Structure 1
Amino acid sequence: MVNILISAANRHTADQWTAHLAAEYGVLIASDHLPSVDFVQKEQAEMAIVDGELLAGESSALTPLIRIGLKILVIGKNWPAEKQIDLLIAGCYGYCERDAVAEVLPKAVSSVIKGDIWIPRQLISKVIGMLATLSSRGNQANTRYRNKKKNLDLLTQRETDVVKMLGEGLSNKSIASMLNISERTVKAHLTSIFQKLEVEDRLQLALLLKDNN
């Protein structure tokens, strides 16, 4: 049986989510906090369901768990598309709206365990459109898209720093603070990065980074 960790902001929420999964999975609850790497490894958990309220707006808190191969599904409330994309950039397997848990959680968990990405319908259409655009560019463009070294060598050191921080799930605001620059400057770097890597937005950048890891 697959072991799943549930990290929710409170025990009541954790119990509600557990009720949707307990019949098919071994469920472990780490209420009020994110599980430690040691706990995940000890319990041999394959996946974690994480309450977005525990992240304080930063998916970088999940980086240690992602690095050990834990598949993470985040449950949030009305997260904007940019924040959902940040989760993909950081290495999470998806995002689910809190109001949709009763309807979709078992399906989302099944997909993530299989290694698939789970994202809301409105983002799926965006991904499909993006992939169609990439396909239409032809083999030469696709080769450039898949060649990490060739693409990343086009970036300046500061742009490389920004990409690395995006890969850790940091927001524009956090990147600006860490680099001691303005959010406007971060956005300018992102515009340059998108042009050099031939991507149109953070979602395409997320897929590029994921494809080349």
Structure 2
Amino acid sequence: MDKIRVMLVEDHSMVRQGLKQLIELESDIKVVAEAANGTQAADYYQIEKPDVVLMDINMPKKNGLQALELIKQNDPDAKIIMLTIHSDREYLFEALQLGASGYVLKDADGYVLIEAIRKVYEGEMYIQPTMAKELVMEFKRYAHNGKNSSKKENILSEREIEVLRLVAKGLLNKEIAQTLYISEKTVKNHISNIFKKLKVSDRTQAAVYALKHNLI
């Protein structure tokens, strides 16, 4: 039986080696490539075409979300599991919106990671069970915001409020992307949505709104 071919993307070499040892204890999985940043990940993916990618989020050069977006643009069928310290549901939603197939926290037990690899390889989505409630909470929050759409501050998602705060502080899109570990394209999309929801036409008007509503 062919083994599941995995690429590890993690900037800390000791963590990478630990993950490799854990994974290769399984007879049906092997690590075929390792990358230390998002740029390498995108390049190595094109060379190795692994079955599954394990991707950290916080990395130099291109972060994990940026690498995820780039890989999915070149290969929409790529199967990528985000392996991260971030339990914030905004990061979870960001990853899913960009096409991630799975989301696992770094403090999860080893068997959770192995199960995630196998499930994703088989074509399923895998969200760590402890994160499932975050999806429910996010859904409820969006539903609540829809019922209270007359209040502009309730329309914005938590991530959009984060972006708005940084806009009000005068940060450029590139700086916002680096601060929040997302791509510039994603920042532009958030800003466009913010303008539409607040019915403003530029960054200055958005910043004034943030100041009036004590968001900064």
Q: Same fold (TM over 0.5)?
A: yes
Q: 1:81 aligns with which of 80, 89, 95?
A: 89
Q: Taking structure 2 as the reference length, what is the TM-score of the superposition?
A: 0.57
Letter in 2 for 1:178: N
Please give the alpha-carbon distance, in whole angstroms, between the structure 2 residues aligned to 1:37 and 1:123.
27
Please give the alpha-carbon distance, in whole angstroms, between the structure 2 residues aligned to 1:32 and 1:87.
19
Alignment CA distance shift 1:174-1:30 (3 Å): farther
Please give the alpha-carbon distance, in whole angstroms, between the structure 2 residues aligned to 1:74 and 1:173.
26
Partners of 1:10 and 1:31 within 8 A in 2: no
Sequence identity (%): 14
Greater shift, 71-80 or 104-113, is seen at 71-80
Q: 1:60 aligns with which of 66, 71, 74?
A: 66
Stretches of structure 2 lacking an aligned partner (at least 5 in a row): 144-158, 175-187, 199-216
Q: Give RMSD over aligned pairs.
A: 4.0
Please give the alpha-carbon distance, in whole angstroms, between the structure 2 residues aligned to 1:174 and 1:25.
44
Letter in 2 for 1:27: V
Greater shift, 102-111 or 32-41, is seen at 32-41
Deviations along 1:114-154, one digit per CA (max 9) or x if unpaired, are: 222222334424546859xx9xxxxxxxxxxxxxxxxxxxx
Alignment CA distance shift 1:188-1:63 (3 Å): closer
Greater shift, 57-66 or 4-13, is seen at 57-66
Please give the alpha-carbon distance, in whole angstroms, between the structure 1 residues aligned to 2:129 and 2:78.
24
Aligned length: 156
Q: 2:19 aligns with which of 17, 20, 25?
A: 17
Q: 1:32 aligns with which of 32, 36, 60?
A: 36
Please give the alpha-carbon distance, in whole angstroms, between the structure 2 residues aligned to 1:58 and 1:106.
20
Please give the alpha-carbon distance, in whole angstroms, between the structure 2 residues aligned to 1:187 and 1:70.
28
Question: Alignment partner of 2:108: what SS?
Answer: helix
Question: Alignment partner of 1:52: what SS?
Answer: coil
Please give the alpha-carbon distance, in whole angstroms, between the structure 1 residues aligned to 2:36 and 2:120.
23
Question: Alignment partner of 2:91: what SS?
Answer: helix
**Based on CA coordinates, which of the two structures has the bigger radius of gyration?**
2
Please give the alpha-carbon distance, in whole angstroms, between the structure 1 residues aligned to 2:111 and 2:98.
26
Stretches of structure 1 lacking an aligned partner (at least 5 in a row): 135-165, 194-213
Question: Alignment partner of 1:3: what SS?
Answer: strand
Partners of 1:3 and 1:27 within 8 A in 2: yes
Please give the alpha-carbon distance, in whole angstroms, between the structure 1 residues aligned to 2:132 and 2:126.
9
Structure having greater relative contact order (Cα 8 Å, sep ≥ 6): 1
Alignment CA distance shift 1:7-1:172 (3 Å): same
Please give the alpha-carbon distance, in whole angstroms, between the structure 2 residues aligned to 1:37 and 1:57.
11
Please give the alpha-carbon distance, in whole angstroms, between the structure 2 residues aligned to 1:174 and 1:66.
29
Alignment CA distance shift 1:191-1:18 (3 Å): farther
